[in-house]
Every structure is written in C-alpha cells, then in structure tokens.
Amino acid sequence: MTTDQVIFIILSVITLGTALLVVTLRNLFHAALALMATFLGVAGLYVMLDAGFLAAAQLLVYIGAISILLIFAIMMTRRLMSADEPAFNSQVWAALVTAVVGFLVVLWAILRLTGLGTEDLSILWRAPVDSKPIGLDVLPYIQNSVAAMGQAFVDPNGFVLPFEIASVLLLAGLVGAIIVAWPKAEDEES
Amino acid sequence: MSFDIVEFLKSLVSLNVAEYLKTVVGDQAWVNFVSDVIGVVIISTFCLLIVIFLIWLERKVIARMQDRIGPNRVGGRYGLLQTVADVIKLLIKEDITPAGADKLAYWLAPFLTVIAALLIWAVMPFAPGVIGVDLDIGVFYVLAISSASVVALLLAGWGSNNKYALLGAFRAVAQLVSYEVPMILSLLVPILLARSMSTVDIVEAQTVPFIFVVPLAAVIFMISALAETGRTPFDLLEAESEIVSGFHVEYGGMKFGMFFLAEFISTLFMSGFFTTMFLGGYRLFGLENLVIGDGWAIGRLLGLIIFFVKMFAVYFLFIWIRATWPRVRVDQILNFNWKFLVPLSLVLILAIAVLDKVIPADAGIYARSSILLLANLLIAMFAIEIMRTVARRKRKESSGDAAMTIDESEHNDVHDAHDSHHEVAAAH
Amino acid sequence: MSQEWQFIAIFIVLAPIFPAAPVILNHLLGPRKPNPIKQQTYECGIETVGDSWVQFKVQYYIYALVFVIFDIEAVFLFPIAAAFDQLTLFAIVEIVIFVVLLSMGLAYAWGRGALEWI
C-alpha cells in the first residue's frame, strides 16, 4: 500500500460518503454542507491527478460561489431554519435505477475508450507520464501546463470556439436567472 | 557528507537550513516530509504569535492618531503585554453555546476561518528561496482559499440560531462575494505583466515595482482587500454599533477570539500580498542577492528584513485608514462595487492586455512601464471624471439649488451681475 | 501526488491544531455554570419573538449569481494571462470579445435594476 493509494482511498471515502449524505440527510442546510465536503473531496482527487489548477478552480467556483448560490436559493424558496424535510419522495426507486444505469453506461464508455479493463488498476491514480495535451500537436509544447491550457483557450487550432461559446452560455445563464429571480418592474415590492 | 559547522552557519544566514540538512542526511522522502512539517509549524506559529504584536500595534497607533496614549499599564510603560492579558481573559471566559444552536455549524465556523487564514500563507515569498511552497498557481490558490472561507461565515450565522446573526451573515457574504470580483480582476494585471501565477515569478518580474507601472490596479486591489478582510471603511459586518456585531454576536470567549485572530492574520496577509504583487516583495535594487565573503549569502536575510519592512508599512496604511475614515453604508458599499469598481477593473484589464501586446517586445522596461503608467493615469482620471459627473447630477436632483456647485453659483453670480447691470441701466 | 501539494496537504492536516488548542483550553479552563437565561439567543435584551427566520431578500441571490458568472470568467482568464507571451494579437481580440460578452450580462443586470440594494 503506497501513500498515494492510502490518500486516494481516504479521498474517495470522503467524496462518496458525503455525497450519500447529501441525498439522505433531512436537514437541508446539513445536506448543503455535505455537498461542499463532496466538492472538497473532488478537489483532492484533482490534486492527485496533478491538476492543481483544476483543484483550485473547484474550490473557487464550486465551494466559493455555487454552494453559496445554492444555499441562497434554498433560503429564497424554503424556510431553511426549520427545514426538516423527508429525504425521499415517491420517485426514489425510479431515481435510484436511473442513477445506477447512468453509472454503468459511463463506466462502460470509459473502459472502452481507455482500455482500462486490460491494464492493471494502478492506472486509476498514477499521474500520466507524458503530460502533453491531447489533440494539440500543432501547438509548441510548453512546460507549464497551466500556460498550455491558457494558450489552448485562444488558439484557433485549439479550443477557442468552446471558449467563446462558454461566454455566450454564461451570458444566457445570467440573463435567464435574473429574469426568473428579479421581480418585474410592474409588480411592486414582493 | 558530514556535518560542518561553518556550512551550517552559512545555511542559517541564508535561511536555507533544510537544504543543508538534506545534503548531510540524504535526499529521502521522509526528509522532505519532516522539513515540510517544520515549515508548516513555523508559518503557523509565526502567524499566531505576530497577532499578539499586531493587536498591540493597532491599539497604540490608533490611540496616538486620536491623541490618546493607548494601553500603558500592563507590562511596562508601553503596555506591551496588554494583548497577553486580553488572551488570558478570553481563555478563562465561560464557554456558552446558545440554545438551539446547530452544534456542527456553530463549532466549525471559527475553526474554518482561522484555517483558511493560515492556509494562504503557504505561498507568501518571504525572501529569495524562503517560501512555504512555490505553487505554479500561487495567486489563484490564494483566491480559491479566500473564496472558500466565505462559507465559514454562513456557518457562523446560521449555526447561531439568531435572527441578527443570520442577517449579519447574509450581508457579510454579499459584501465579501461582491468584492471578490474586483480583487480577481485587479490581480490579473500583475499576473499578466509577469506572465505567471506564481508569487515568486511575480516578485522576480518586478525590476520596476508594479505600483509604478499599474497604480490603478494597486488601488483597486487595496480597496478590495479592505473589503475582503472586513476592515474600515467596510467593517459594517462586525461593527458593534451596527446590527449588534453581526454574525458573531453569539460567540464568546476563545471562539470569538478565533474570528478576531482570523481577521488580523488575513489583514497581515493582505499587506504581505500587496507588497508581493505591487511593491516588489523582498527586492530592493538587488540587495537580496548579496553574497559576501566565501558563500555567506546574507542577501537572503536582508531580503527577509526588506519584506517585513514593506509589509508593515502597508499594514500601517491599513491601520491609518481605520483610524481616520468613517464607515460606509451597506448599499453604498455594494453600489460602489458593482457600478464603479467592477466596470473600472474590466476596462483596466482589457486596456492593459491590449497595450501590453501592442507595445513592441524590444521596447525596453522603462518605455513599457511608462506607457502602461500613462494609460493607468488616463483611465483613472476618466473614471474620476465620470464619478464626479454622476455625483453632481445626483446632488442636483436630490436637493434642488441648495447644493450648487461652483460653476452654477458662478453662473448665478453672472446672472446677478447682469441683473444689477440692468437695474443700473434702468436707473439711468 | 507532487511535492508541492504535499506541503499543502500537511498544512491542511496540521492547521486545525492551531485554532483548536486555544478553544479547547477555553473549554477546559472556563467556568461551567449553564442556566437557561445565559443560553438564550440575543435579541436586544428581550425574549426572542417568533421563529428565527428572516425575510430573505432576492438581492443576496442576485449578487451571488453575478459573482458566479465573473468567477467562472476568472477561471478562464487566469491561464490566458499566464500564457500571455505566446499569444498573438488575434488572441487579444478573442479575449476582448469574451470579456465584453460577459460585461453585457453585467450591463443587463444593471439596466434591469437588479443591482440596486433595496
């Protein structure tokens, strides 16, 4: 048992355990806290994959922004202080079956694409030896992976189109959320 | 290699003991582990102990600025042990948990704020080669941890089972979250100029300290840092006269001490961060690389001293601002952020990006710095002009002719002069 | 896991000890005389009125929302700033388009009056 394996197991237990708590806890605020712990576990897993920037982005965006947005949204629509909802409603079995089927589909896709089933399992947590970005052979190889990512964002042969579309998507999300959340000018104080 | 006292002393002076011990003992995994642990303990102990000095310093400086003396009883004429007395007082207070408080959230909140305030020190460059760990995403890491620490406030507010605490927590989160945006955008400017997110790279790129190249970004960062740490003029969140102490109204004893501690640690960190980003960190015309005699690298020690001097100069600025400026209202705070600072920082980062690419690469440092400085000053003047026009218009709307500006009163004087001319003419 | 993050991991594990020590010390040293009056939550010196529930203003949600958008924008802009040397002028145009698009979101929120603190 190498240290990496031990750390991986700890992080996985944290991630999966708190994820289970999110869907089973009755107190909504505790469920939101468990969700933040799940995000922390995922950030740890990113670090294990040598993606430090993604781990920090996970902290910054998911824990620092989206969790807070989630808690605010819960507070806007429910009385959070006395929240003691039943954790499951009538659709719980359909949801469980769908989640398991979805998981098997993703697992099958990953095994097919990477040939995982044929190699030893240590590929799950070993950092890739060759850290060249996939599919960007035309770009000059930059040692610093974050700078490589930055260049890939704006390179016409790279990911510039998804980059610009992401901004349009964010704009649409913002405008949509404001339209839904903000009372119209005709209604006075809500 | 065996232990050599001269080499050890040299490594001590150059603040590089870990490296030297590694050559003696051998570069194994556990050696790295032990040196990391010692590094963590040194940083954390330093933070905790320096707060004792910082609290005393703040009280003394504010007192002097307000023409008082400040603490002068405990520990001699200068009250040096005043903070120790305060800490002991907090330690022996009763530990009360309010009825109905959510135990997990209520107890977790003070720990999380202090842990977040400590974690960011890992990437602070104290001297050349003296840094917790030189992450290649150093600045981004700092922003991520600061952003994640906002959660602790919500925990405190919600866990206290108190209306005022919850309301205070909401407002605090709204303020902190709003001022993250100009902080992020203004920090993009030194990163762009240094082409790297690593704090060490940014210090090394400052042959001309960035405050002379992009002063507007420095000012925006300073304002956001004041708001992020909850210092005056943005200390609405925890002021005793407002919303009764906000989100930590239900905390007493050492738990309250922890919130206090976290605020001082993060204020000191912001001062250090400001010197790293904009004042050139430990650099002073190459003094930090001084090596005299046969390998005695005292430059590093000098670099450490230089860094501390700069950091405390900025910290003194924080204290000065607290002693002299009034508190701002919450709607003024948020309006100022979203309607002035965020558009200003967006314009600034775009202008710097465009200019930095347009200036030819072989223009030399001083030409490049002066052009960027000029652009900064132009944008700043433009922004201030816009703010004045808007303020003038608002004043005119809100109070009719009672708040005339000089132009308008001059205009009226001219009218009066005309009228008196007419009267005189009519009289003739 | 690389060397750098080992330091951060050790830091995360050890850092809780430093705030924990004073708090536990306080818990041990302080007197323990609980009574119901002391444990009441604070409300201007009188008994609490009604549930601990506050009217949640939609303003908080709007601020958090706009912050999420700009946060994600930052996640894109940071690597680009780090790679600035290798960028062409065309890349600058792309960045300007990106930032302007997101600023239009802010302008929309502003024009809609969603940024006013009621």
- The ranges assigned to domains in chain B are 87-358
> What span, in angstroms and rounded, lies between the C-alpha atoms of B113 and B397?
44
The reported pLDDT for the residue numbered B88 is 86
Average pLDDT value for chain B: 83
The reported pLDDT for the residue numbered B80 is 82
**Residue, of A139 and A174, whose pLDDT is higher:** A174
Do residues A58 and A139 share a domain? Answer: no
At B155-198, the pLDDT tens digits run 888 888 777 778 788 888 988 999 999 999 999 999 999 988 99
Question: Which whole number is the average pLDDT over B345-362?
Answer: 88
Do residues A65 and A77 share a domain? Answer: yes
Residue B428 has pLDDT above 50, yes or no: no
Q: What percent of chain A has pLDDT over 70?
A: 74
Average pLDDT value for chain A: 79
Question: Which whole number is the average pLDDT over B297-321?
Answer: 90
Interface mutation vs chain A, best among B147, B149, B177, most A CBs within 10 Å: B147
Do residues A6 and A81 share a domain? Answer: yes
Where do the domains of chain C lie? 58-111
What are the distances in angstroms from CA A9 to CA A1, B139, B166?
A: 11, 29, 37
Q: Residue A189: give the domain boundaries.
A: 131-190
Would you place residue A82 in the very low, low, confident or very high pLDDT band (cuts 50, 70, 90)?
low
Instruction: Please say whether the beta carbons of A183 and A190 come within 8 A.
Output: yes
CA neighbours within 13 Å on the CB side: how many for A52? 25
Lowest model confidence (mean pLDDT) among B196-200, B349-353, C86-90: C86-90
Q: What does the angle CA B374 – CA B196 – CA C104 come to, to the nearest 5 degrees?
A: 65
The reported pLDDT for the residue numbered A190 is 42
How is chain A classified by DSSP, letter by letter? --HHHHHHHHHHHHHHHHHHHHHH-SSHHHHHHHHHHHHHHHHHHHHHTT-HHHHHHIIIIIIIIIHHHHHHHHHHHS-GGG----S--TTHHHHHHHHHHHHHHHHHHHHHHHTGGGS-GGGGTSPPS--PPTT-TTSPPPSSHHHHHHHHHH-TTTTHHHHHHHHHHHHHHHHHHHHHHSPPSSS---
> What span, in angstroms and rounded, lies between the C-alpha atoms of B130 and A150?
28
Chains within contact range of chain B (3+ C-beta pairs < 8 Å)? A, C
Do residues A189 and A114 share a domain? Answer: no
Do residues A108 and A178 share a domain? Answer: no
> What span, in angstroms and rounded, lies between the C-alpha atoms of B313 and B300?
20
Lowest model confidence (mean pLDDT) among A59-73, A142-156, B99-113, B303-317: A142-156
Instruction: Please say whether the beta carbons of B147 and B181 come within 8 A.
Output: no
Residue C53 has pLDDT above 70, yes or no: no
Residue A168 has pLDDT above 50, yes or no: yes
Question: Which whole number is the average pLDDT over C76-104?
Answer: 90
Interface mutation vs chain A, best among B197, B198, B201, B228, most A CBs within 10 Å: B197
Instruction: Give the residue numbers in B contacting A (CB under 8 Å), as ranges.
Output: 102, 104-105, 135-137, 140-141, 143-148, 150-151, 154-155, 158, 161, 166, 173, 177, 180, 195-197
Query: Treating both helix axes as pointing N-terminal to C-terminal, what angle do B29-65 and B17-25 enclose, rounded to 10 degrees?
Result: 170
Peptide bond into B233 cis (omega under 30): yes
The reported pLDDT for the residue numbered B238 is 65
Question: Which whole number is the average pLDDT over A96-102?
Answer: 94
User: Considering its fold, how many domains does chain A have in total?
Assistant: 3
- Domain of residue A77, CATH code: 1.20.120.1200
